[in-house]
Structure 1
């Protein structure tokens, strides 16, 4: 499973204000970034926190962990945006392990381009008969205010211990550590308005082979 580098986020900040005022639009047609990984057991982890009332199930198989750094913004608004940026990533992993491109979890936490990205990402895993196992790690989070109704959440990713597992043969495809393991995620979050009660990811872009993310 080859990793695919997503486009650099050169246009994300420039178009943020427009995107935040037209959140129903589709966004960029970005190809799925196949994370080297896999996992697979069907048993759900008993350590997963139960979903809050009204929120989707984000539990994962016991052989897959999604880890985030403990650093949070001191601004309550930006901290809330960061929390649901992380939930969106958890939901993406949930959809991969559930083998469901229409999984309700990622749809709950996303709009527009981010919804389509998650669906295409999960579908690529399902079509290739892969699921995920190992540890998917995110760290060095940063939040920035965008206009009057948005927050840009940026974080590094280390997928050196995140592997693909064939759902039929159960074989895990291990990869050698390299610069390909390090990515930078940028998630444009939309502030809750009206009936929308939580921050949602409006657009996601991922840059691959980021030397600055090496630990």
Structure 2
């Protein structure tokens, strides 16, 4: 679907690599390119990571679904990041349907540049009177733990089964369905806060990335 990519600056493949390098070296360079595998069946958002923090409510309408496929690993620490990453993605769409860029969930899961990008992204929908419907699928490509304590998550989204709608009427907006530009590659950075929540701090994206076609 020709939605705006989730809040991450648009980038070339080179810029994606630069962000990964800027995040610092991995704890184990031999595992830096480890691919994340999990159950083959599609599933809705994973449960948020087990921390003492009270989680804000996130809710999407029945006709709009984010499905996270193979969204897990055999590493509990990486799984905790992935769980909060999925909640971050849902929090952005939750804000679109609430009609405001000022929600507790956004402040809970995003900080810094990522939070500002989320605000701009959501306002883009609201200013045009748009929402969306259908199913967007997300698949993890790589999770890398960095020497500075941050974690980088690289993932793809497939928007071919979702589409832009008029927020008031719910009717599809003409020519908003996917096609060759329906796949988006994301390179995102997360840092754990004092409450044990993995918050997105920055990221870049590339629509039409070949890495997301398979």
TM-score, normalisation: structure 2: 0.76
Shift of 1:95: 0.8
**Equivalent residue of 1:172, what SS?**
coil
Q: Corresponding residue for 1:39?
A: none
**Equivalent residue of 1:66, what SS?**
strand
Q: Single out whichever of 124-133 and 1-10 deviates more from structure 2.
A: 1-10
Q: How many residues align?
A: 184
In structure 2, the CA distance between the partners of 1:3 and 1:91, relative to structure 1 (3 Å rule), is: closer
Q: Corresponding residue for 2:202?
A: 203
Can you list the C-alpha shifts for 1:108-167, whole angstroms capped at 9, x where unaligned? 111111111111111100001001211111014420112231111111110011111112
Q: 2:68 and 2:184 mapped to 1: Cα distance?
A: 14
> Contact 2:153–2:189 (CA<8 Å) still a contact in 1?
yes
In structure 2, the CA distance between the partners of 1:181 and 1:80, relative to structure 1 (3 Å rule), is: same
Q: Corresponding residue for 1:114?
A: 114
Shift of 1:13: 2.0
Of 11, 19, 29 in structure 2, the residue corresponding to residue 12 of structure 1 is: 19
> Contact 1:49–1:59 (CA<8 Å) still a contact in 2?
no
Shift of 1:206: 1.1
Q: Corresponding residue for 1:94?
A: 94
Q: 1:98 and 1:50 mapped to 2: Cα distance?
A: 21
Please list, as runs of the form range in 1=range in 2, the aligned pairs for 1:14-53 lying within 5 A after superposition: 14-17=21-24
> Contact 1:48–1:59 (CA<8 Å) still a contact in 2?
no
In structure 2, the CA distance between the partners of 1:58 and 1:172, relative to structure 1 (3 Å rule), is: same
Shift of 1:97: 1.2
2:180 is the alignment partner of 1:179? yes
In structure 2, the CA distance between the partners of 1:200 and 1:176, relative to structure 1 (3 Å rule), is: closer
> Contact 1:73–1:143 (CA<8 Å) still a contact in 2?
no
Q: 2:170 and 2:178 mapped to 1: Cα distance?
A: 22
Q: 2:20 and 2:161 mapped to 1: Cα distance?
A: 31
TM-score, normalisation: structure 1: 0.76
In structure 2, the CA distance between the partners of 1:48 and 1:60, relative to structure 1 (3 Å rule), is: farther
**Equivalent residue of 1:179, what SS?**
coil
Shift of 1:49: 8.9
2:91 is the alignment partner of 1:84? no
**Equivalent residue of 2:160, what SS?**
coil
- Over the residues paired in the alignment, what is the CA RMSD in angstroms? 2.5
In structure 2, the CA distance between the partners of 1:138 and 1:166, relative to structure 1 (3 Å rule), is: same
